[in-house]
C-alpha cells in the first residue's frame, strides 16, 4: 500500500446562518463560488489531481466539491454523512482503509469546522490536537503512512488559506 495524500478542504464562503432556515441548505454566496473556483483553478495549475472526493451532504460543502470537480481537480464527488458536522471519525477510518486497498493515492474531503480541524489533529497527534485554523476554501494536506495506523503518524505538508492561492 502506498503513502496517501489526504486533502481536507473547508467549504467556501456561505451565506449567513438564519434561525428560520435549515442550515443544511445554506448555499455558497456568489463570492464564495468565485473564490472557490479560483482556489480550485490554482490547485489544478499546481498539479493537484485527486483520485477521489468525498463531500459532506450539506449544500455549501457539496457546491464546493462540485466546483473542484468542474475545474478538473477531482472526479465526481460522492456524498458522505461521515463528513457532515459531527461525523463519525472511526467509521471514516474504516471506509478509508477499504478505499486505500484499491490503490488510490490522493483523496479530498470537503467538510466543515471544527470537524476537519479535529480530524487533522487526530491524524497528526493521535488526539484532537493540534487544532488547525482552516479558512473557508482553505486546504490542509496530510501524508498518511503506507502501513499501520495513520493516527499520530501522519505528516502535514500543506496548510494554506485561500488568499495564498488566489
pTM score of the predicted model: 0.95
**Binning pLDDT at 50, 70 and 90, where does residue 18 land?**
confident
According to CATH, the topology of domain 4-14+23-164 is: Rossmann fold (3.40.50)
Q: What is the pLDDT of residues 64-103, one digit of tens each?
A: 999 999 999 999 999 999 999 999 999 999 999 999 999 8
- What's the DSSP call for residue 139? E
Q: What integer best gives the mean pLDDT of the chain?
A: 94
- Helices 115-125, 89-100: inter-axial angle, 10-degree rounding: 60
Cross-strand bridge partners of residue 5 = 106, 143
Amino acid at each position: 500500500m502506498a503513502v496517501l495524500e489526504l486533502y481536507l478542504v473547508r467549504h467556501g464562503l456561505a451565506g449567513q446562518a438564519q434561525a428560520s432556515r435549515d442550515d443544511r441548505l445554506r448555499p455558497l454566496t456568489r463570492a464564495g463560488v468565485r473564490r472557490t473556483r479560483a482556489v480550485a483553478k490554482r490547485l489544478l495549475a499546481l498539479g493537484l489531481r485527486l483520485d477521489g472526493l468525498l463531500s459532506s451532504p450539506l449544500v455549501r460543502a457539496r457546491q464546493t466539491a462540485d466546483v473542484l470537480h468542474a475545474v478538473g481537480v477531482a472526479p465526481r464527488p460522492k456524498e458522505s454523512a461521515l463528513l457532515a458536522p459531527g461525523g463519525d471519525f472511526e467509521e471514516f477510518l474504516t471506509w478509508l482503509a477499504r478505499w486505500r486497498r484499491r490503490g488510490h493515492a490522493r483523496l479530498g474531503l470537503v467538510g466543515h469546522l471544527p470537524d476537519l480541524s479535529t480530524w487533522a489533529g487526530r491524524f497528526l497527534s493521535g488526539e484532537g490536537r493540534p487544532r488547525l485554523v482552516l479558512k473557508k476554501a482553505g486546504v490542509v494536506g496530510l501524508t498518511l503512512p503506507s502501513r499501520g495506523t495513520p493516527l499520530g503518524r501522519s505528516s502535514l505538508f500543506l496548510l494554506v488559506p485561500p488568499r495564498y492561492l488566489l
